[in-house]
């Protein structure tokens, strides 16, 4: 299977000792949930995939996206979208500027503006472009962060406890929105979470790193 | 399968090397330029017979012993009192409202130039100063200023007081930064729950952790206080002066051979500072041993609070009062018309002093700003480069690296700046703003680094991860995300750098060959003349030159990002 995200015998070591290992494949449109208690190295796997692994870690194995190895590529060339627990909207930019930062380059100014406004509509925030992100509610910020990431036209999606920061009601709504968009764009999704409800809502396979090792 | 990591500092790898070179190169070159003439080798003056004669000449100078004694006693006393005052203030009051108030008051005073503070203090305590006026004639019976040597007293008491007042805000800010990493609040709570008095509990449970982190700043205060020139010119005795002042006198002697004696004295000053640092280190060990014994005895010392807590607030208040009242004195003198003793205020206020001295001060402000902005600009570029390299390598600054940053502040200026001047002379570099900018950079760099380091490292790296995931390269992340998000600490660091540059006396005087008149050199030059109105004008101008950048650093982000609440938390 060439399509999708594939982790081939990935082992991440710290100070020579293996920290976490995973061998898994995620097909386009599929969600793979990686579970386990904190400190087990779930997020470290995601930083390997995004290309932001701290130099104190070493790794073995390969990460492939649509059949192409990406582990040697710089982070910005990988086209791997990621959402964290916090929205991480850039506080010095307006909502529209945040989206423009994400929007893949190219196109006329008018076309880019139209695309951003369209994106705002998709998440139910028409006219929010000039707003200061700090004035948005938690749910609104999360949606802007999602749209910013989608506009960068990623080929895979990583979720790092992406729903843990939201209240109960909002969480279900946000899960639905993220998984819908990922499915519509046929993105492979790798979700790291400690919340069984997240995994249940995703409906895909579950790997438990806490119960001794790798799977997939 | 090969083992791999993701790393590489890219084009920023050169920044740390360049920074060390720019910062320590002049120190090393200057020390060499001091060492050779100290042994009689100064080809520029036709002197190349290597000998110990300069040291013999130095030993023959009758003022040598008093000058050395002054350097050691004022330096040690000022450091002990400033550290003790800050420790008592923290021990008695940290976490209280009074402490917050004093902290807010003292923090901005850190930037007040040493010379302005020294003049302000002189205006307070002089026989015709505000304190004498306030007490005369009803308490003292003085109808005329008494003939007392209060400022420039032969024991260096005024000099020590000035240094204590000025260094307390510095140590306070350094200790505040350390406080966050010491879990001080909970440690104190544990001690108090065990029945310890506030001061004793703090000294036993918190102070050791704080001191370990402010050790280098304390060394800086000691080295600085022992070898300071501008403050000593204003507040210190003159016959004989402290050793460092005498070095400057010899350096400015038209007879070039006097530079040999000056160099020998500069080396002696360096040895004195190193010796005092060693002594201080021994003292640390002794205090640690005594302190441990005190801790083991378990004395709760609750009664001591009654004496020590008021003492803490008095010491903090002393620093704030001296600096603020001094600045007020400068401002009043700059506007004073006729003002006779013992009236507390002038008969009238006038703009005449400003009309007379304003144009000169304005001209000096131009050069001051040029030198400050250039050196701070260079420092910011280098420091951001260093921090970015550190971030990309994922390696924090090592203890050795921290010592390197403090090194230019630990080596007394008077030990290497004369050598640097001689070297520039030998190499045929004309004196001018260029070398002065590089000279200031040596001292601006450490402070900019220390100011920007913590906020830079506290930045949430996930913002960078997100930006990279959105397709932004490392340089774009730096320019478009990290720097704008850190606008506040960047501007604060710049203001700190400007304050350091504006306050520099010796580098401006020596590296500039006396031909780069800044506000500080002009102000200090007025010291011997005693024209209080001129001193007032220059002192106020000097203070404004550091306060305006700080105000701008506060206001600019609010203005640029007025609709971005997330940046104002």
- Residue A44 falls inside a structural domain: no
- Give the minimum alpha-carbon distance from A76 to chain B in angstroms, rounded to a whole number: 4
Nearest CA in chain A to B477: A76
CB contact under 8 A, A92 and B487: yes
Of B469, B566, B567, the CB nearest to A75: B469
Number of Cβ within a 10 Å radius of residue A107: 12
Mutation to test the A interface, candidates B471, B560, B567, most A Cβ within 10 Å: B471
Write out chain A residues lying below 8 Å of B459, CB-based. none
**Domain-located, residue A140:** yes
With cut-offs at 50, 70 and 90, classify the pLDDT of residue B503: very high
pLDDT in tens, B535-547: 999 999 999 999 9
Query: For the segment A90-116, what is each residue's pLDDT rounded down to a tens digit?
Result: 999 999 999 999 999 989 999 999 999
pLDDT of residue B294: 93
d(CA B438, CA B376): 10
Separation in Å, CA of B5 to nearest CA in chain A: 5
Residue A44's Cβ-count burial label (10 Å; 0-12, 13-18, 19+) is middle
Chain B residue numbers with beta carbons less than 8 Å from the beta carbon of A53 are 5-6
Specify the pLDDT at position B446.
Answer: 96
Q: Which chain A residues contact residue B484 at CB under 8 A?
A: 90, 92
Q: Please tell me the distance from the alpha carbon of residue A8 to that of residue A27, in angstroms, as a whole number.
A: 14
- How confident is the model over B76-96, as pLDDT tens digits? 999 999 999 999 999 999 989
A101 contacts B561? CB cut-off 8 A: no
Taking 90 as the threshold, does the pLDDT of residue A69 lie above it? yes
Residues whose CB falls within 8 Å of the CB of residue A54, separated by 6 or more in sequence, listed in order: A47, B394
Question: Mean of the per-residue pLDDT values for chain B?
Answer: 93
A134 vs B contacts (CB less than 8 Å)? 564-566
Q: Which helix (H) or strand (E) is B369 found in, with range?
A: helix B352-393
> CA B16, CA A34: separation in Å to the nearest integer?
40
Chain B residues whose CB is inside 8 A of the A155 CB are: none
Q: Classify B397 in phi/psi space as left (phi over 0), alpha (psi -120 to 50) or beta.
A: beta
Residue B7 has pLDDT above 60, yes or no: no
Which residues of chain A have a CB within 8 Å of the CB of B472? 76, 101
Q: Is residue A56 part of a domain?
A: no
pLDDT digits (tens, 9 = 90+) for A142-172: 999 999 999 999 999 999 999 998 988 899 9
One DSSP character per residue, B18-51 reads HHHHHHHHHHHHHHHHHHHHHTT-BGGGTB----
Of A58, A94, A135, the CB nearest to B3: A58
Helix axes B207-227, B157-179, angle to 10 degrees: 150
Question: Would A50 be classed as within a structural domain?
Answer: no
Chain A CB contacts of B10 under 8 Å are none
What is the model's pLDDT at position B398? 85
Residues 6+ apart with CB under 8 A from B287: none
Instruction: For residue A12, list chain B residues with Cβ-Cβ distance below 8 A.
Output: none
Q: DSSP state, B394?
A: T
Judge whether residue A213 has pLDDT over 70. Answer: no
**Is the Cβ pair B466, A135 closer than 8 Å?**
no
Burial class (CB in 10 A: 0-12, 13-18, 19+), B11: exposed
**Residues B520 and B368: beta-carbon distance below 8 Å:** yes
Residue B5 zone, left/alpha/beta (φ > 0; ψ -120 to 50; rest) = beta
Which residues, other chains included, contact A128 with Cβ-Cβ below 8 Å and sequence gap of 6+?
A95, A96, A120, A136, A140, A144
Which pLDDT score, from 0 to 100, does residue B44 have?
78
Residues in A whose CB is inside 8 Å of some CB of B read 9, 13, 47, 50-61, 71, 74-82, 84, 86, 88-92, 94, 101-102, 104-105, 132-135, 148-149, 152, 154
CB nearest to B394's CB, from A54, A78, A84 = A54
Q: What digits encode the pLDDT tens for the residues B10-49? A: 778 889 999 999 999 999 999 999 999 999 998 878 888 8
Assign B144 to helix, strand or coil.
coil
Which of chain B's residues have a Cβ under 8 Å away from the Cβ of A56?
A: 394
User: Which of A58, A92, A104 faces B485 most closely, judged by CB atoms?
Assistant: A92
What does the pLDDT look like over B409-442, one tens digit per residue? 999 999 999 999 888 888 877 678 999 999 999 9
- Chain B residues within 8 A of A78 when measuring between CB atoms: 469
Q: What share of chain B has pLDDT > 70, as a percent?
A: 98
The pLDDT tens digits for B352-372 are 999 999 999 999 999 999 999
B7/A55 CB distance under 8 A: yes
Residue of B nearest to A131 (CA): B563
User: What is the torsional sign of CA B322, B324, B330, B332?
Assistant: negative
- Could you tell me the two tokens for B235? 């507040």
B119: CB partners within 8 A, 6+ apart: B234, B326, B330, B523, B527, B535, B539
Q: Note if the bond before B293 is cis, omega within 30 degrees.
A: no
Q: How far apart are CA B193 and CA B191, in angstroms?
A: 5
Cis peptide before A62 (omega within 30 of 0): no
Cβ <8 Å between A152 and B469: yes
Q: Do A90 and B462 touch (CB under 8 A)?
A: no
CB within 8 Å of B230: residues ≥ 6 apart: B114, B115, B118, B505, B506, B520, B524
Sign of the alpha-carbon torsion through B505, B508, B511, B516: negative
Which is higher by pLDDT, B140 or B236? B236
Tell me the β-bridge partners of B62: none
Distance CA B106, CA A86 (A): 37
**How many beta-carbon pairs below 8 A join chains A and B?**
111
Whether the per-residue pLDDT at B100 is higher than 80: the answer is yes
Nearest to B566 among A52, A57, A133 (CB): A133
Mean pLDDT of B543-562: 93
With beta carbons under 8 A apart, name residues in chain B contacting A50.
Answer: 465, 468-469
* CB within 8 Å of B211: residues ≥ 6 apart: B218
Distance from the Cα of A70 to chain B's closest Cα (Å) equals 12
Cα→Cα distances B21→B98, B450, B453, Å: 44, 18, 19
B466/A132 Cβ within 8 A: no
pLDDT over 70 at B291, yes or no: yes
Q: What average pLDDT does this structure show over B190-215?
A: 94
Structural class in CATH, domain B10-37+64-335+353-567? mainly alpha
Q: In whole angstroms, what is the distance from residue A216 CA to residue B5 CA?
A: 24
Closest CA to B498 of B509, B506, B490: B490
Q: What is the 3-state secondary structure (H, E, C) of chain A?
A: CCCCEEEEEEEEEECCEEEEEEEEEECCCCEEEEECCCCCCHHHHHHHHHCCCCCCEEEEEEEEECCEECCCCCHHHCCEEEEECCCCCCCCCCHHHHHHHHCCCCCCHHHHHHHHHHHHHHCCCCCCCCCCHHHCCHHHHHHHHHHHHHHCCCCEEEEECCCCCCCHHHHHHHHHHHHHHHHHCCCCEEEEECCHHHHHHHCCCEEECCCCCCCC
- CA end-to-end distance (rounded Å), chain A: 14
| Alpha helix positions (H), B206-301 | 207-227, 230-235, 243-251, 258-297
Exposure b/e, B171-207, CB count within 10 A at least 16 = b: bbbbbbebbeebebeebbeebbeeebbbbbbbbbbbb
Largest CA distance in chain B: 93
Name chain B contacts of A162, Cβ cutoff 8 Å: none
Copy the structure tokens of residue A138.
Answer: 């938690």
Closest residue by Cα to residue B387 from B18, B12, B10, B11: B12
Put simply, the answer to whether A60 touches B1 (Cβ < 8 Å) is yes
- Tokens 């695309």 belong to A115
Q: What's the pLDDT at B47?
A: 85
Give how far B477 is from chain A: nearest CA, Å. Answer: 10
Q: How far is B396 from chain A (nearest CA, A)?
A: 11
* pLDDT at A192 exceeding the cut of 90: yes
Whether residue A1 is predicted with pLDDT greater than 60 in this model: the reply is no
What is the predicted pLDDT for the residue at B4?
Answer: 54
- How much of chain B, in percent, has pLDDT values that exceed 90? 77
Minimal C-alpha gap between A164 and chain B (Å): 16
Q: Which residues of B touch A (CB under 8 A)?
A: 1-7, 393-395, 460-474, 476, 480-481, 484-485, 487, 561, 563-567
**Is residue B285 over pLDDT 90?**
yes
B4 with A58: Cβ contact below 8 A: yes
Distance spanning both ends of chain B, measured CA to CA: 47
Task: Please give the pLDDT value at position B5.
Answer: 52
pLDDT at B569 over 70: no
Q: Which of A59, A49, A51 is nearest to A7 (CA)?
A: A49
Residue B8, pLDDT score: 62
What is the extent of the structural domain holding A144? Answer: 89-153
Q: For position B156, what pLDDT does the model report?
A: 95
| Residue from the list B561, B565, B567 with its beta carbon closest to the beta carbon of A135 | B565
Check CB contact under 8 Å for B465 and A101.
no
Count: domains in chain A: 1
Q: Which residues of B touch A82 (CB under 8 A)?
A: 465-466, 469
pLDDT at res. A169: 86
pLDDT of residue A56: 87
What confidence score (pLDDT) does residue B460 get? 94
What's the pLDDT at B148?
A: 86
Please, which residues bridge with residue B210 across strands? none
Sort out which chain A residues have CB atoms less than 8 A from B567's CB and list them: 91-92
Cα(B119)–Cα(B125) distance, rounded to whole angstroms?
Answer: 10
Cβ separation B480–A152 shorter than 8 A: no
Cα torsion B151, B152, B157, B163: sign: positive
Proportion of chain A above pLDDT 90, given as a percent: 80
Model confidence pLDDT, tens digit, residues A16-56: 899 999 999 999 999 999 998 877 889 999 999 999 998 88
Question: pLDDT class for B108, splitting at 50, 70, 90?
Answer: confident
d(CA A94, nearest CA chain B) in Å: 8
Smallest CA-to-CA distance from B367 within B551, B496, B538, B515 is with B515
């Amino acid at each position: 299977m060439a399509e999708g995200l594939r982790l081939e015998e990935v082992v991440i070591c710290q100070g020579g000792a293996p920290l976490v290992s995973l061998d898994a494949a995620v097909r386009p449109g599929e969600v793979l949930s990686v579970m386990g208690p904190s400190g087990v190295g779930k997020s470290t796997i995601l930083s390997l995939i995004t290309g932001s692994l701290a130099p104190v870690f070493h790794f073995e194995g390969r990460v492939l996206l649509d059949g192409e190895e990406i582990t040697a590529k710089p982070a910005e060339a990988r086209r791997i979208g990621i959402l964290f627990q916090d929205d991480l909207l850039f506080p010095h930019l307006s909502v529209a500027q945040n989206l423009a930062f994400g929007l893949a380059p190219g196109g006329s100014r008018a076309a880019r503006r139209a695309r951003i406004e369209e994106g705002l509509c998709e998440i139910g925030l028409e006219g929010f472009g000039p707003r200061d992100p700090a004035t948005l509610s938690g749910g609104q910020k999360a949606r802007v962060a999602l749209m910013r990431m989608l506009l960068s036209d990623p080929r895979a999606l990583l979720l790092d406890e992406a729903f843990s920061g939201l209240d109960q009601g909002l969480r279900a709504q946000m899960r639905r929105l993220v998984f819908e968009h990922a499915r519509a764009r046929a993105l492979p999704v790798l979700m790291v979470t400690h919340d069984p409800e997240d995994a249940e809502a995703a409906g895909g396979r579950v790997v438990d790193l806490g119960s001794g090792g790798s799977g997939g | 399968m090969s083992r791999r990591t993701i790393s590489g500092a890219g084009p920023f790898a050169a920044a740390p090397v360049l920074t060390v070179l720019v910062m320590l190169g002049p120190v090393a070159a200057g020390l060499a330029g001091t060492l050779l003439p100290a042994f009689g080798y100064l080809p520029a003056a036709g002197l190349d017979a290597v000998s110990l004669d300069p040291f013999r000449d130095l030993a023959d100078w009758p003022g040598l012993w008093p000058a050395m004694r002054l350097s050691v006693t004022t330096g040690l006393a000022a450091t002990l009192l400033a550290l003790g005052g800050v420790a008592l203030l923290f021990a008695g009051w940290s976490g209280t409202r009074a402490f917050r108030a004093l902290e807010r008051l003292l923090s901005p005073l850190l930037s007040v130039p040493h010379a302005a503070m020294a003049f302000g203090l002189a205006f307070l305590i002089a026989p015709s100063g505000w304190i004498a006026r306030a007490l005369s004639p009803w308490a003292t019976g003085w109808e005329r200023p008494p003939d007392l040597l209060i400022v420039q007293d032969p024991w260096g008491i005024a000099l020590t007081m000035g240094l204590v007042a000025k260094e307390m805000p510095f140590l306070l800010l350094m200790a505040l930064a350390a406080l966050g990493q010491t879990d001080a609040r909970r440690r104190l709570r544990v001690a108090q729950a065990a029945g310890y008095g506030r001061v004793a509990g703090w000294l036993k449970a918190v102070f050791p952790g704080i001191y370990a982190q402010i050790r280098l700043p304390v060394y800086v205060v000691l080295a600085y206080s022992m070898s300071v020139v501008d403050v000593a010119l204003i507040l210190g005795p003159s016959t004989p002066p402290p050793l460092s002042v005498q070095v400057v006198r010899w350096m400015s002697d038209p007879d070039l051979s006097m530079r040999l004696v000056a160099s020998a004295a500069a080396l002696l000053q360096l040895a004195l500072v190193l010796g005092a640092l060693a002594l201080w280190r021994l003292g640390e060990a002794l205090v640690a041993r005594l302190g441990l014994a005190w801790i083991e005895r378990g004395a709760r010392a609750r009664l001591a609070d009654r004496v020590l807590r008021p003492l803490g607030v008095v010491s903090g208040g002393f620093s704030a009062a001296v600096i603020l009242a001094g600045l007020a004195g400068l401002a009043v003198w700059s506007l004073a018309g006729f003002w006779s003793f013992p009236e507390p205020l002038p008969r009238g206020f006038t703009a005449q002093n400003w009309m007379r001295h304003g144009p000169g001060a304005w001209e000096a402000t131009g050069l001051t700003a040029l030198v400050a902005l250039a050196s701070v600009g260079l420092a910011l570029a280098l420091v951001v480069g260093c921090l970015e390299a550190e971030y990309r390598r994922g390696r924090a600054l090592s203890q050795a690296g921290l010592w390197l940053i403090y090194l230019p502040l630990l080596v007394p200026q008077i030990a290497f700046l004369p050598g640097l001047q001689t070297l520039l002379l030998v190499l045929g570099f004309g004196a001018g703003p260029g070398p002065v900018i590089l000279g200031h950079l040596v001292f601006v760099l450490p402070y900019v680094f220390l100011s920007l380091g913590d906020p830079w490292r506290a930045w949430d790296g996930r913002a960078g991860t997100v930006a990279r995931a959105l397709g932004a390269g490392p340089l774009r992340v730096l320019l478009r995300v990290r720097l704008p998000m850190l606008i506040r600490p960047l501007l604060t660091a710049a203001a700190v750098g400007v304050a350091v540059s504006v306050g520099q006396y010796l580098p401006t005087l020596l590296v500039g060959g006396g031909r780069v008149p800044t506000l500080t050199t002009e102000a200090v030059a007025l010291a011997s003349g005693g024209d209080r109105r001129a001193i007032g004008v220059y002192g106020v101008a000097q203070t404004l030159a550091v306060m305006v950048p700080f105000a701008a650093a506060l206001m600019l982000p609010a203005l640029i990002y007025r609709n971005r609440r997330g940046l104002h938390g």
